[in-house]
Amino acid sequence: MEHPFTDRFAAGAALARLLERYAGRFDLLVLALPRGGVPVAYAIARALDAPLEVFLVRKLGVPGQEELAMGAIASGDILVRNESVIDALQVPEAIIATVAQAEGEELRRRERIYRAGRPAPDVANRTVLLVDDGLATGASLRAAIAALRRQQPAHLVAAVPVGAPETCEELRALVDEMVCAITPHRLGAIGYWYEDFSQLTDEEVCALLARAAQEYAAEHPGPSS
What is the residue-wise DSSP string for the chain?
---SBSSHHHHHHHHHHHTGGGTT-TTEEEEE-TTTHHHHHHHHHHHHT--EEE--EEEEEETTEEEEEEEEEETTTEEEE-HHHHHHHT--HHHHHHHHHHHHHHHHHHHHHHHTTPPPP--TTSEEEEE-S-BSS-HHHHHHHHHHHTT--SEEEEEEEEB-HHHHHHHHTTSSEEEEEE--SS---GGGGBS--PPPPHHHHHHHHHHHHHHHHHHS-----
Model pLDDT for residues 126-172, shown as the tens digit of each residue: 999 999 999 988 888 988 998 899 889 999 999 999 999 999 999 99
Residue 39 in this model has a pLDDT that exceeds 70: yes
pTM over 0.95: no
Model pLDDT for residues 163-191, shown as the tens digit of each residue: 999 999 999 999 999 999 999 988 888 99
Residue 67 in this model has a pLDDT that exceeds 80: no
Domain ranges of the chain: 8-56+124-219
What is the dotted CATH code of the domain comprising 8-56+124-219? 3.40.50.2020
